[in-house]
Amino acid sequence: MEKNFSHIAMKKKLDRADKALLDILQQNVDLPLGEIAARVNLSPTPCWRRIQRLQEEGFIRRKVALLDAEKLRVGVTVFVSIKAGRHSRDWFEGFRDAVSAMPEVVEFYRMSGDVDYLLRVVVPDIKAYDAVYQRLIACAELQDVSSSFAMEQVKYTTALPLDYI
């Protein structure tokens, strides 16, 4: 008879220190470990082990550099609402793959309600957007495509709320 020891590695709930760690790391990932440990009132070793555990358990997906959109000349954000109409599964897969492959499309959602798909597209200017738009409507049969330009990015964060865990 075998026993299941998975409960040893799997912690039921994250405690205050774990949440504090996640909060620090999703703001800034290149603080020295000693500094992080001090902020959560732990010594480096247990702090390091907690971070390892949070990675292994999948709370931390990856560590990335966030670049400056203006400097990369993609300061213009456009939201694209798409109505697809009735289509087959093959159609969707082709559409999904073609859109996902476009580097200007940074977010892509399948929606409920009026609109079928919503994209966030980043480009240098309206002219460049038109090129993306042309590629978009060429890649799959679409019923209706409507574009809304953002005037100002008031808030943009990759930091998720930790209040629900």
Partner DNA sequence: TTTGAAAAGTTGCGCCC
Partner DNA sequence: GGGCGCAACTTTTCAAA
- Could you give the CA distance from residue 133 to residue 92 in angstroms, rounded to a whole number? 18
Report the nearest approach of its own copies to the CB of residue 57 (Å).
8
Choosing from 10, 12, 16, 163, the residue that interacts with its own copies (CB under 8 A) is: 163
- Could you give the CA distance from residue 121 to residue 145 in angstroms, rounded to a whole number? 13
Q: Report which secondary-structure segment, H or E, holds 130.
A: helix 126-139
The contact mask relative to its own copies for 72-111 (x = CB under 8 A, - = no) is xxx--x-x----------------x--xx--xxxxxxxxx
| Total site size for its own copies, rule CB under 8 A | 66
Which residue stretch of 42-50, 76-84, 92-100, 112-120 sits at the interface with DNA (rule: CB under 7 A)?
A: 42-50
The conformational region for residue 41 under phi > 0 = left, psi -120 to 50 = alpha, else beta, is: left
Q: Contact, 158 vs 66, CB < 8 A?
A: yes
Which residue stretch of 30-38, 65-73, 102-110, 149-157 sits at the interface with DNA (rule: CB under 7 A)?
A: 30-38
- Could you give the CA distance from residue 6 to residue 10 in angstroms, rounded to a whole number? 6
Q: 3 or 129: whose CB is closer to its own copies?
A: 129
One-letter amino acid identity for 58? G
- 164 makes contact, choosing from its own copies, DNA, none, with CB < 5 to 8 Å by partner type, with its own copies
Choosing from 3, 7, 16, 71, the residue that interacts with its own copies (CB under 8 A) is: 71
